[in-house]
Structure 1
């Protein structure tokens, strides 16, 4: 288990927290591995009836660690197995997932929310998916889930044009269920998770399966996006965009 991911069970609720505040919870391979393991383990832990995914105050998740993306590009790789394990864990998770979002949610920090069943966000939250601006393509099956959630035009605006969303816009588009103050995000997310966990477990599972549809379709899109992502990561466009990004950081 990565030290940058903590897992705590509170009765029937498993709380999965990204804990890399110095990097605004930018995800590393180890963090992806730890999160995937915690999610997959719920399949053999019937006492856990709901998951909560949380970050830190002011930063839910700044996306993938770009240093690791640059290394993957140099080595001719793509998203990498740890990322894909995490995304498949989201797709095949049979426990309801609640997210508690405060502050930045960038890249996979936004797209993972499309797999969640209930999302509480602070009024200060900001959501963005700057994939195409980096010469890449969307991931986490967002090219499938975002059009279903908000319609193809709004999905294009977010996923291709990279237009960011504030909390109220995210609420209006259905990415978020509830907007509240930063101090209330986690208490309200935990209250929602506890309510879900108190419902008849088999009925929740059956209803959720009907609502979400075939997880295999979602996993297939994750893999299809990953193939495009690998190609794009080697492209001159992506290399130029990453070089410009890291030049700005210096």
Structure 2
């Protein structure tokens, strides 16, 4: 599991790559912890100018590893998934995401907290929380209605409807949609490398200003969602839905 998150540092760019191709890059507790700790280290390192998060050209991430999730579900807001959320939310360095293939659950909601997001046009994004007996997380219940309007957000969060990378760019969830997964990864890297040539202090202050509006409200919503998510995991609906997913594998 130690190589489930590949790290590459090239000049001022730190790349974090999901690396579980046999599991569609599904995220485990150990991966969340590694992501959180690495983001915190990058945030404190003056030599790091930007962080790039990516999967492969074929798959970003299928979201939580359900088996790992059920074995030891998060019990409070200090659990590994929420530790990762806090670390990404608090990161002062620009975070860029490159998305191709599937981006499920937190694979989509984490994009709402990245500064620049490049997707392949045929990427498949989905937030099937209700379908699994759960509720939205990572501030998505606040951010998506504001970004898309209630009706479209309801389609994505209440029904768990899938949408493409092209739609994500059209709706403002992504910065740009590219023709292929390889193109999305290449464009994200090209843009991420540009931060090495920019004044880091000015970049960080600008990001702080852009993120400052309603920041405390967002924190409160993330905590409220998290507490309800932990409760929902214990519900008969969630247990039945998650167990069915496991049985199909």
Does the residue aligned with 1:8 lie in a helix, a strand or coil? strand
Q: CA deviation at 1:215?
A: 4.3
TM normalised by structure 1 equals 0.92
Does the residue aligned with 2:14 lie in a helix, a strand or coil? strand
- What is the alpha-carbon distance in structure 1 between the residues aligned to residue 66 and residue 205 of structure 2? 39
Matched residue count? 247
Aligned equivalent of 2:46: 46
TM normalised by structure 2 equals 0.93
CA spacing shift, 1:138–1:39, aligned 2, 3 Å: same
CA spacing shift, 1:151–1:198, aligned 2, 3 Å: farther
Q: CA deviation at 1:216?
A: 4.2
CA spacing shift, 1:163–1:34, aligned 2, 3 Å: same
CA RMSD in angstroms comes to: 1.8
Aligned equivalent of 2:192: 193
The answer to whether the 8 A contact 1:157-1:163 is kept is yes
The answer to whether the 8 A contact 1:78-1:231 is kept is no
Aligned equivalent of 1:68: 68
1:146 aligns with one of 144, 147, 164: 144
- What is the alpha-carbon distance in structure 2 between the residues aligned to residue 36 and residue 133 of structure 1? 27
The answer for unaligned runs of 5 or more in structure 2 is: none
Q: CA deviation at 1:186?
A: 1.6
- What is the alpha-carbon distance in structure 2 between the residues aligned to residue 60 and residue 36 of structure 1? 18
- What is the alpha-carbon distance in structure 1 between the residues aligned to residue 122 and residue 29 of structure 2? 28
Alignment of 1:73-84 (within 5 A): 77=75, 81-84=79-82
Q: CA deviation at 1:148?
A: 2.8
Aligned equivalent of 2:91: 93
- What is the alpha-carbon distance in structure 1 between the residues aligned to residue 88 and residue 216 of structure 2? 12
Does the residue aligned with 2:137 lie in a helix, a strand or coil? coil
The answer for unaligned runs of 5 or more in structure 1 is: none
Are 1:56 and 2:77 matched, yes or no? Answer: no
- What is the alpha-carbon distance in structure 2 between the residues aligned to residue 97 and residue 72 of structure 1? 29
- What is the alpha-carbon distance in structure 1 between the residues aligned to residue 52 and residue 110 of structure 2? 12
- What is the alpha-carbon distance in structure 2 between the residues aligned to residue 144 and residue 95 of structure 1? 23
- What is the alpha-carbon distance in structure 2 between the residues aligned to residue 63 and residue 236 of structure 1? 21
CA spacing shift, 1:90–1:143, aligned 2, 3 Å: same
Does the residue aligned with 1:119 lie in a helix, a strand or coil? strand
Q: CA deviation at 1:146?
A: 1.9
